[in-house]
Amino acid sequence: MDIFVEWLEEPVLNYEIIGHILKMSLLCIVYVCIFCLAMSYFCPEYLDSLRNEDAADLLEQKGWIITLVLVLASVFEELTFRLLPIIFFSIFVDEVEIDWKLISVVIVSSVLFGVFHGSLNNIPLQGVLGVLFCIVFLKNGGLQKKYIRATLASISVHLIYNVIVFVVAAVIKSSI
C-alpha cells in the first residue's frame, strides 16, 4: 500500500500527462475485458443484467449526436463524481492527503457512479472504473488542488474509455 500511496502522491509532470492518460485508459479497457470475460464464464446472467437499452438506442443515432452524448456524459460524470466530491472534501481539510477520509470519499463517489449507471449490479463494473477515474483525478493534480488539470485528465480518460466501448459495441452490433 505504501508504494501505491507514494506513486499516487508523485504528480504527473506536464510532458508525461498524455502518456499517463493513455496508460490509464488502457488499464480501464483491460479491466473491463477481464471482468466481462470472467463474468461470462462464471455468471453469464450477470452480464445480461447490465444491458442498457438507452445505450443500445445511441448506436442508432447520427454521428454528431453520438459525439455530443459521449463528450457530455464524460464531462458531466467527472464533474459530478470526481470534482465535486473532492472539492467538497477539501473544504473540510487543510491539505488533501491519502487517508481513510479521502479513501471513503473515493469509495462513496465510485459506488454512486456505479449505481448511476443503472443499478447496484453496475457497482462491480462501473464502480471500479469510478475508482480508476478517481486515481487519474488525484494523480494528475487532485491531491495538489490543481482541479482544472485533474478534471481535464479524468475527463480525457473517461472519454477515451467511452469512445472505445462505443466503437466496440458498434462493431459487434454490425457483425451480428
pLDDT of residue 172: 79
CA-wise closest residue to 69 among 133, 134, 165: 165
Place of cell 466503437: 167
pLDDT of residue 47: 76
pLDDT of residue 53: 60
Task: Give the span between the Cα atoms of 79 and 155, in whole angstroms.
Answer: 9
Number of domains in the chain: 1
Which set of grid coordinates corresponds to residue 47? 452480464
- Residue 110 vs residues 44, 125, 131: alpha-carbon distances, Å: 24, 10, 6
Q: pLDDT tens digits for the chain (176 residues)? A: 789 989 999 989 999 999 999 999 999 999 999 998 998 889 888 877 776 665 666 667 778 888 888 999 999 999 999 999 999 998 888 777 888 999 999 999 999 999 999 889 899 999 999 999 999 999 999 999 999 999 999 999 999 999 998 888 888 777 76
List the domain range (segments joined by +) for residue 66: 2-175
pLDDT of residue 58: 67
Task: Give the span between the Cα atoms of 119 and 51, in whole angstroms.
Answer: 11
Task: Give the span between the Cα atoms of 70 and 72, in whole angstroms.
Answer: 6
pLDDT of residue 111: 97
Which set of grid coordinates corresponds to residue 145? 488542488
pTM for the whole thing?
0.91
| 24 and 132 Cβ atoms separated by less than 8 Å | yes
Task: Give the span between the Cα atoms of 174 and 176, in whole angstroms.
Answer: 6
